[in-house]
Amino acid sequence: MAPRRAPRPDERGKAAEETRERILRAAVREFGEKGYSGARTAGIAARAGVNQQLISYYFGGKQGLLEELRRRRQEEEPSAPDASFEESIGAQLARTLDDPDWARLVVWQALGDCPFADADEGRRHMEAQRSRMAAALERMRRRQEAGEVAGRVDPAFALLVAYSVVFAPITMPQFVRDIFGDDPLSPEIRRRLHGELVKLLGEAED
């Protein structure tokens, strides 16, 4: 039998990167189900099928995992300044419902499960969130001025309604299922929420 070949450096690097990705995917599922406070690195390691020590090795622990997930999420933030209101609603629905575990983590944090909120990283995250909301509100105002969104609605309320409907399959799945009679994450529900939200807020005034 020929001796077993030692892996090349590029192979080791690829294996390490695949391990990191498995850990990150497992972390999103664990955080989404249990929140940051309830999640355990042992549970994340079990989901990823890796030794728990690798989480500390690659990310420095649970906090480092969340920071890396947040960083990646911000990098993936869609940037389409010329998108129509209808297109932007579709993009937000896709971003939320294509990754329900991340959306659940957002809900956990909105309910107060916000780790290291008083630390520098936590303050930076909250400041970035406020900045994103301010930018979203300004876009809503511009859409109203352009006649794309009905001016009869307060822009802050319009923005809140939009986010509430987009997140409804995550925050109130049983209500969505009972009202619409379908899986909250189904393409049909997404299509209906998209169409009705655009009609509700984008309808021209009489």
Contact 41, 58 (CB under 8 A): no
| The pLDDT value given to residue 11 | 52
Contact 37, 113 (CB under 8 A): yes
Residue 8: pLDDT band (50, 70, 90) is low
Lowest mean pLDDT among 104-113, 136-145, 151-160: 104-113
| The pLDDT value given to residue 15 | 86
Query: Which candidate, 89, 77, 78, places its Cα nearest to that of 148?
Result: 89
Q: How far is CA 41 from CA 34, 46, 64, 103, 113, in A?
A: 12, 8, 11, 20, 17
| The pLDDT value given to residue 78 | 65
CB atoms within 10 A of CB 153: 17
**Does residue 56 carry a pLDDT above 90?**
yes
In angstroms, rounded to a whole number, what is the distance separating the alpha carbons of residues 56 and 35? 19
Q: What does the pLDDT look like over 92-112, one tens digit per residue? A: 999 999 999 999 999 998 888
104, containing H or E segment: helix 100-110
Residue 48: pLDDT band (50, 70, 90) is very high
**Residues of the chain with pLDDT > 90: what percent?**
68
